[in-house]
Amino acid sequence: MSRGLQDVRVGIIGLGYVGLPLAVAFSEHFPTIGFDINGARIAQLQDADDQTLEVSTQELRDASQLTFTNQLAQLKEANVYIVTVPTPITSSNQPDLSPLVKASEAIAKVLSEGDVVIFESTVYPGATEEICIPTLEAHSTLRFNQDFYAGYSPERINPGDKDHRVVDILKVTSGSTPEIGEFVDSLYKKVIVAGTHKASSIKVAEAAKVIENTQRDLNIALVNELAIIFNKLGIDTEEVLEAAGTKWNFLPFRPGLVGGHCIGVDPYYLTHKAQSIGYHPQVILAGRRINDNMGKYVVTCLVKAMIRQKLQVVDANILILGMTFKENCPDLRNTRVVDVCKALKEYDVNVDIYDPRADSAQAKHEYGLDLIEQPVPATYDAVILAVAHKEFVALGRAQVRDYLKPDGLLYDLKYIFDKGDVDLRL
Q: Is the separation of the CB atoms in 202 and 178 below 8 Å?
A: no
pLDDT at 216: 95
Could you tell me if 96 and 90 are in contact, meaning their C-beta atoms sit under 8 angstroms apart?
yes
pLDDT band at residue 2 using 50, 70 and 90 as cut-offs:
low
Q: Which of 212, 334, 220 is nearest to 270 (CA)?
A: 212
pLDDT at 27 over 90: yes
Return the closest-CA partner of residue 208 out of 174, 238, 181, 236: 174
The dihedral built from the CA positions of residue 10, 14, 15 and 19, taken in this order, carries a sign that is: negative
Residues with catalytic roles: 262
Alpha helices in 234-265 (DSSP H): 237-244
Model pLDDT, residue 162: 79
Q: What is the pLDDT of residues 240-250, one digit of tens each?
A: 999 999 999 99
- Cα angle vertex 234, ends 232, 236, to 5°? 110
CA 37, CA 23: separation in Å to the nearest integer? Answer: 16
Closest CA to 19 of 91, 90, 103, 144: 103
Q: What are the tens digits of pLDDT across the range 29-56?
A: 999 999 999 999 999 999 999 998 899 9
Average pLDDT score, the chain: 95
Q: What is the mean predicted confidence (pLDDT) over 119-126?
A: 96
Sheet holding 404-412, edge to edge: 350-354, 317-321, 380-385, 404-412, 424-425
Whether 145 contacts 115, CB under 8 Å: no
Contact 267, 281 (CB under 8 A): no
Query: What is the DSSP secondary structure assignment for residue 101, as one 8-state letter?
Result: H
CA distances from 273 to 126, 191, 338, 378, 394 (A): 9, 32, 28, 51, 44
Q: What is residue 136's DSSP assignment?
A: H
* Average pLDDT, integer, range 191-217: 96
What is the band of 1 on the pLDDT scale with cuts at 50, 70, 90? Answer: very low
Whether the predicted pLDDT of 204 surpasses 60: yes
